[in-house]
């Protein structure tokens, strides 16, 4: 499995280097990098997290992340879903591997239809207990506020998307959910649709003890926006090292994202 994932990354990088993109624009690239742009998109994010559990094995996931904006006059409602499909290798002694659906996250951002120099949005984030196995999620409905802010000066795009989540209802014997996450995104757009990127997600589990609260990734990668006929597709490859992470969780990861764009 690890070898196949590495080959996908390698082939993607080589293939992207051979694709031309004469008619694409930096404006569309920035829209793709903006999580609350007025743009329909369908991203697929493939991730491998290494050295997880006491057995130092790998967790593979594919997150499907459709985004659908709705015009509400002076406002836009940006509907974002994260649907995780997960394959865990044996993490602890006596366990087997596990494959299935994780907990679905729905985010709704209200943002002004006419963006200013600072683009911003706010709304609820809801986690649904859709997991097909206890190892792949928590049987608690959870929710909390979410906000995003970004700027796009020159060739740059940078910003932050943050949320704080609490469990609100669910099985009494399930652990409480209370965590904070903040995804930074820093992009520098180059010629021909290429860009440098770093989008680490910092997580704090407020239910854990102080030595196991934070996950702090450091890293980044490269992306390119290409066009197949009239269909723009955004490819991105990143790798992160977790400078801080809870015991028995992954210490580094590799991500490949393929995002289909549907400009209006």
pLDDT tens digits for the chain (264 residues)?
544 554 555 455 545 544 444 344 689 999 999 999 999 999 999 999 999 999 999 999 999 999 999 999 999 999 999 999 999 999 988 889 999 999 999 999 999 999 899 999 999 999 999 999 999 999 999 999 999 999 999 999 999 999 999 999 867 777 889 999 999 999 999 999 999 999 999 999 999 999 999 999 999 999 999 999 999 999 999 999 999 999 999 999 999 999 999 998
Instruction: Name beta bridge partners: 44.
Output: 64, 258
Fold (CATH) for 2-262: Porin (2.40.160)
Question: pTM (2 decimals)?
Answer: 0.89
pLDDT of residue 26: 85
Find the largest Cα–Cα distance for the chain.
Answer: 57
- Domain locations in the chain as residue ranges: 2-262
Tokens of 68: 């659908």
> Nearest to residue 257, comparing CAs of 59, 78, 12?
12
């Amino acid at each position: 499995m690890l070898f196949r994932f590495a080959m996908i990354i390698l082939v993607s990088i080589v293939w992207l280097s051979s694709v031309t993109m004469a008619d694409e624009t930096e404006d569309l690239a920035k829209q793709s990098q903006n999580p609350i742009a007025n743009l329909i998109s369908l991203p697929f994010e493939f991730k491998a997290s290494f050295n997880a559990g006491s057995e130092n094995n790998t967790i593979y996931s594919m997150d499907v992340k459709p985004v659908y904006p709705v015009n509400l006059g002076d406002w836009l409602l940006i509907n974002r879903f994260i649907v995780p499909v997960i394959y865990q290798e044996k993490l602890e002694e006596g366990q087997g591997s596990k494959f299935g659906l994780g907990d679905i996250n729905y985010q709704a951002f209200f943002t002004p239809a006419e963006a200013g120099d600072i683009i911003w949005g706010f709304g609820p984030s809801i986690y649904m207990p859709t997991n097909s196995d206890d190892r792949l999620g928590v049987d608690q409905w959870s929710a909390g506020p979410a906000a995003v802010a970004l700027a796009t000066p020159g060739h740059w795009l940078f910003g932050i998307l943050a949320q704080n989540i609490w469990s609100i209802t669910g099985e009494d014997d399930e652990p409480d959910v209370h965590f904070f996450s903040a995804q930074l995104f820093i992009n520098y757009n180059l010629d021909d649709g290429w860009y440098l990127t770093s989008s680490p997600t910092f997580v704090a589990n407020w239910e854990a003890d102080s030595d196991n609260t934070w996950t702090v990734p450091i890293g980044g990668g490269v992306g390119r926006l290409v066009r197949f006929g009239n269909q723009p597709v955004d490819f991105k490859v990143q790798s992160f090292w977790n400078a801080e992470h809870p015991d028995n969780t992954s210490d580094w990861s590799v991500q490949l994202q393929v995002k289909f764009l549907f400009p209006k």
